[in-house]
Amino acid sequence: MSASPQYSPDGRWYWDGQRWQPVVAPGPLWSRPYAPPESRASAAIGLVIAAMAGAGLFFIGETLDLVAVLVLPDPLVELVAQTADLIAAIGSIAGTVGAAIAVPMWMHRTFRNLPALGATNLRWSPGWAAGCWFIPFVNLVLPYLITRELWGATDPPRPPFPLLEAWWVAWIGSEIVQVVANQVGRVSTAGGDVLGIVNDAGVLVAGVLLIMIIQAVTRRQRARHAELASADA
């Protein structure tokens, strides 16, 4: 006679006496079969990199502008700074607008995958995962909270540092600094440039951390799906 069913410590598997079986629990109404998130992840990462390239050019332009104001008031330096800022504006707008669409689309897909990967008791939904980015004031907090649930429910490896918190602090901090820089720049070009440089650095840091999050969640969802598929074989 086979042994009675025994559940794994995480509650996702049970032993039926012959092999481990995934625990199938009723999912929410929005649950769907697993859909690969790789293409959306690639689009999101590519557009985040484009936005980071714009921030990098802004960093160079504002640094040169600061040099022209404080150290070397040369028209050529100012011209190079203005050219860098113009190119940066074009690249930054294209990358930021694209990323503002691609990242929520990636979050929608990966969050919708969670029930198919065994996650239960989810507080949010794919609609909130995508839509929260576009709601004023709500988008100051909710994207972080939903990403935290997405990360935990996907069960990726524990990061070597508080990755999610560092990403969100860098992102919100850079947005606040940008608002202040715009105001300061009206009365002090040098002060506006200094704060602009800080903002650009924050955008670059936030972009790198967001790419790490996208890669980790996407990779873990792919591995989890393969794990479940092999168990069913």
Beta pairing, strands 13-15 & 20-22: antiparallel
Q: At what angle do helices 142-154 and 163-184 cross, to 10 degrees?
A: 160
pLDDT in tens, 3-14: 445 666 655 666
User: Would you put residue 23 in left (φ > 0), alpha (ψ -120 to 50) or beta?
Assistant: beta
The residue type at 110: T
> 146: pLDDT confidence band, cut at 50, 70 and 90?
very high
Domain locations in the chain as residue ranges: 38-232
Highest mean pLDDT pick, 44-48, 68-72, 75-79, 186-190: 44-48
- Over residues 49-59, the pLDDT tens digits come to 999 988 888 88
| Residue partners of 107: CB distance under 8 A and separation at least 6 | 126, 129, 130, 143, 146, 147, 150
- Is pLDDT above 90 for 143? yes
pTM: 0.83
